[in-house]
Amino acid sequence: MVIEWLRFQVNPELREVFIQRDEEIWTEGLKKYAGYLGKEVWIEPYSNDVIIMIRWENMDVWQSVPKFEINRRKQLMGNLDIPVSESRVYQVRRFLHI
């Protein structure tokens, strides 16, 4: 499994509407891709940070989302297309127990 980890700096007054629009546009759109496993939104209570953590089956599945689809969804976010302030990728390791 691969984790796509994204940090956004969101003004507290816009936080709830940003999260709601992200759910409507990004989450609903990504659900149609095979290999999309789910998503979590983490809110830092003492800062402007909103962390979005997306789980993918593997790196190939994640990278197969067409660029035009990403650009289209960014446009649909409109004035709430807040740039990613930090991004990371993690690969989840699973160990067999004997």
Predicted local distance difference test score (pLDDT) of residue 12: 93
* The pLDDT of residue 48 is above 80: yes
Give yes or no for a contact between 28 and 73, defined as CB atoms under 8 angstroms apart.
no
pTM passes above 0.95:
no
Task: Tell whether the model's pLDDT for residue 98 goes beyond 80.
Answer: no
- Residue 75: the pLDDT is 96
Q: For residue 19, tell me if it sits in a domain.
A: yes
Q: How many domains does the chain contain in total?
A: 1
Mean pLDDT, rounded, of the chain: 94
Q: Give the model's confidence band at 24: pLDDT under 50 very low, under 70 low, under 90 confident, else very high.
A: very high
- Measure the CA–CA gap between 51 and 49, rounded to whole angstroms: 6
Q: Is residue 20 part of a domain?
A: yes
Residue 74 lies in a domain: yes
Task: Tell me, yes or no, whether 64 lies in a domain.
Answer: yes
